[in-house]
Structure 1
Amino acid sequence: MPPTRRAEYAAQTRQAILEAALSLFTTQGYFASRVEQIAGAARVAPATVYAVGGGKSGLLRTLIESAVNSPENARILAEIESATDPQGLIALIVATSGAKFGQWAPLMRQVVAAAPQEPAVRESMEIAHGGLRGGLRHTAGRLAALGALRDGLDAAQAADILWLYLCNAAYFVRTDDLGWPLEKSEAWLTAVLSRELLRP
């Protein structure tokens, strides 16, 4: 059954509000962005922002949950589960983490900055981190199932190593502190993680 015009309008309104919130959060920061500004950018009343998203914290949580639970992430997990080449799987998770960081770094910078002062933001950050950790656990588990992990390393330890190199904080160090472009990170990470995780 096709959606009604009212349902289509509601979906368009919700999307406009989320896009406005994402733009303002990334350009102004979480605390400097006001609901009235989000409403103005989305061309709706402030009350609509609260009704649709539950205010700023609700909008931020929705943005992050939508990213974590996206069809694209489901496809990536399916690729991980079906991988048969350990080296190819390392290359896949490195390339994927780099692409995701490039896409979401502007927002995550603001989330990390606001999280210490705002419990609701901290909860959203934990959702983002939980999504990444889940993908890394799947990767480590698949490498273990393929018998590809080096001697003395189990799936839990491999997941910790992946997190150490592929979490947002590690990417921030490489891009912000060291000035590495993502392409340099990708080549280096692929070599390092292959050495750290895989049998010779």
Structure 2
Amino acid sequence: MRAVGLMAADDRFRSRRDEYAEATWQAVVTAARELFGEAGYSGTTVQQIARRARVSPATVYAQCGGKKGLLKTLMDAWTAGPLVREIIEACAAARSGAEKLHVLADGYVAIYQASGDIIPIVTDAAAAVPDAAEFLDTANARHHEALIEIVAQIRETGDLKEDLSDEDAAWIIYYHFRFEQFELVARNMGWGEDRARDWIRERVELALLDA
């Protein structure tokens, strides 16, 4: 009985320790996300991140891999989080090419709502920091792979124009729905997210689908 009690106590200790580690990790990631957005990746120090997260600089390195590890964590959240797979699966469940593009358009808006602050952080950092440039390349490659998968789904419906390759179709979607384009229409032009989404989707439908 004593051994069982010790094991139970050990499990509780491990659980509390894991919860603390997770909370610490989340606090550091949140602090980095805020500071990178405020001052840029290059303009933020590990010491500033640690101060905002209320941890030691050593913890930032040990738990999150320093600034580089934190930037990768943010990039992964943007490009490899569960939302991306949910969008692909929802597109697969839609029957027609037009329905799939409706789902995809809604998915882009959802991603930009969730990660719209992360994308410029990575993009801006990539212009000056080699590690960030590699992360952006990874993000773009993941984006392209997801679009190729969705285009293949559209082709299976028979709705994709026959003279379009999957590669070209994926690039057309990327060109129209990339973050910078969406921000231009939704923010700079003042159309708002819904009108921007619908207008861009209609352009993509005209370019990709048979009438």
Q: Shared fold (TM-score greater than 0.5)? A: yes
Q: Report the equivalent of 2:43.
A: 32
What 5-or-longer segments of structure 1 have no aligned partner? none
Alpha-carbon distance in 1 for matches of 2:124, 2:139: 14
For the residue of structure 2 that corresponds to 1:26, the secondary structure is helix
Q: Which residue identity lines up with residue 152 of structure 1 in the other structure?
A: D
Larger Rg belongs to: 2
Q: How does 1:39-188 map to 2 (within 5 A)?
A: 39-175=50-186, 177-188=188-199
User: Deviation digits for residues 71-108 of structure 1, max 9, x if unmatched?
Assistant: 22222221122321211111111121123123322222
Is the CA contact (8 Å cut-off) linking 1:86 and 1:143 kept in structure 2? yes
Identity over aligned pairs, percent: 28
**187 and 107 in structure 1: CA distance in 2 versus 1, 3 angstrom threshold:** same
For the residue of structure 1 that corresponds to 2:116, the secondary structure is helix
Report the TM-score, using the length of structure 1 for normalisation.
0.90
Please report how far the alpha carbon of residue 137 of structure 1 lies from its aligned counterpart in structure 2 after TM superposition. 1.3
Q: Quick check: 7-16 or 73-82, which moved more?
A: 73-82
Q: Quick check: 114-123 or 65-74, which moved more?
A: 65-74
Please report how far the alpha carbon of residue 39 of structure 1 lies from its aligned counterpart in structure 2 after TM superposition. 0.6
Is the CA contact (8 Å cut-off) linking 2:32 and 2:70 kept in structure 1? yes
Is the CA contact (8 Å cut-off) linking 1:141 and 1:155 kept in structure 2? yes
Determine which structure has greater relative contact order: mean sequence separation of CA pairs < 8 Å that are 6+ residues apart, divided by chain length. Answer: 1
Is the CA contact (8 Å cut-off) linking 1:116 and 1:122 kept in structure 2? yes
Q: Which residue identity lines up with residue 189 of structure 1 in the other structure?
A: I
RMSD: 1.9
Alpha-carbon distance in 2 for matches of 1:60, 1:143: 34
User: Deviation digits for residues 117-153 of structure 1, max 9, x if unmatched?
Assistant: 1011112222222232222112211111111112311
Is the CA contact (8 Å cut-off) linking 1:17 and 1:38 kept in structure 2? yes
Alpha-carbon distance in 2 for matches of 1:187, 1:86: 15
Q: Quick check: 165-174 or 18-27, which moved more?
A: 165-174
Alpha-carbon distance in 2 for matches of 1:81, 1:106: 28
Is the CA contact (8 Å cut-off) linking 1:132 and 1:167 kept in structure 2? no
Aligned residues: 200
Q: 1:12 aligns with which of 17, 20, 23?
A: 23
Q: Which residue identity lines up with residue 163 of structure 1 in the other structure?
A: Y
Q: Report the equivalent of 1:190.
A: 201
Q: Quick check: 31-40 or 68-77, which moved more?
A: 68-77
Q: Report the equivalent of 1:22.
A: 33
Q: Which residue identity lines up with residue 83 of structure 1 in the other structure?
A: A
